[in-house]
Amino acid sequence: MDKATMEKAAEQAQIVARVLPYLRRYAGATIVVKYGGHAMEEGHLASQFGNDIALLKQVGINPVIVHGGGPQINAMLARLEIKSHFIDGLRITDAAMVEVVEMVLSGTVNKQVASLINKAGALAVGISGKDGGLIRAKKLARTKRDPGSNIESVLDLGFVGEPTHIDTRVIHALTGAGLIPVIAPVGVGEDGQTYNINADTAAGAIAGALNANRLLMLTDVPGVLDKGKNLLADLSLADIERLIEDDTISGGMIPKVLTCLEAVTQGVKGATILDGRVPHALLLELFTEGGIGTLIHK
């Protein structure tokens, strides 16, 4: 072995040695990953995601994947010439649209994500929240206050739902058999009605029900930023309340942060919002000191 090869081998050995404490920390742990955004859309990032999830399984971690699919739904609706309307970032979902949403999320996207992981050498199984009654849901109740009159009105978002109960038996059956669950965020009501559920919300509810060690929310931003656009590495409940109050946390980041906070309240040890556009973001978050995103804890 020449000197250059020896030095490269020594560097690789040092990397493995540095990672060992983190492997011990997460051995046997359940990690729920919300997968979406550019990490899902860009080919090289999608391939890396599949490899990274397979690696987590190989080293003794139990990953559970909950995926979105907004761009894919938009593309299918455009093909079918069905117009979408949104209120506060939530898609108004009528009876015709919920069929399209379920077809795309539970069909095309779900199987694509599972295939990424299978291609990397692990065994992933794609399911939806309707399978085995995994995600019980009800119609999402949302109100909006008119800034002029200060009167609140009830918004009708159609078949947009929120989880009421997570039955973890299906997940435990799959992970117990050495499989990786890949879950489409579609729920079912008590009357059998299908509901479209925000993927962040579904991931948070599933992580809480599993008492997961970590919830990792892949987004298209580095994490929660301060007013100077600097990353806030960790946040407590008191921090979050203060930052929402002074508008540091605003817009679409508020529901993500509150979802993470709710998961932590339910027993998840830590929830992180991190940038899925960064190559190997999951590995950098779990296997480096301090990680790369914003960790939310009690």
pLDDT digits (tens, 9 = 90+) for 179-188: 999 999 999 9
Which pLDDT belongs to residue 136? 97
pLDDT digits (tens, 9 = 90+) for 245-274: 988 998 888 889 999 999 999 999 999 999
Instruction: Give the bridge partners for 153, in sequence order.
Output: 144
pLDDT of 11 strictly over 70: no
CB contact set of 198 (below 8 Å; sequence gap of 6+): 90, 160, 185, 255
**What value does the mean pLDDT take over residues 111-134?**
96
Residue type, 128: S
Which pLDDT belongs to residue 16? 63
79 and 108 Cβ atoms separated by less than 8 Å? no
Q: What are the tokens at 106? A: 């539970």
CB contact set of 174 (below 8 Å; sequence gap of 6+): 125, 127, 180, 181
pLDDT digits (tens, 9 = 90+) for 85-107: 777 667 778 888 889 999 999 99
Which pLDDT belongs to residue 125? 97
Which one is predicted more confidently, 238 or 64?
A: 64
206 and 167 Cβ atoms separated by less than 8 Å? no
Q: Does CATH place domain 28-292 in 3.40.1160.10?
A: yes
- Between CA 185 and CA 32 the distance in angstroms is 13
**What value does the mean pLDDT take over residues 161-170?**
95
Helical residues (DSSP H) of the chain, grouped into ranges: 3-26, 38-41, 43-58, 70-79, 95-102, 110-119, 169-176, 199-210, 237-245, 253-265, 281-287
- Between CA 278 and CA 2 the distance in angstroms is 33
Instruction: Give the bridge partners for 165, in sequence order.
Output: 136
Enter the DSSP assignment of 272.
Answer: E
pLDDT of 128 strictly over 70: yes
pLDDT digits (tens, 9 = 90+) for 39-91: 787 788 999 999 999 999 999 999 999 999 888 888 898 898 888 777 766 77
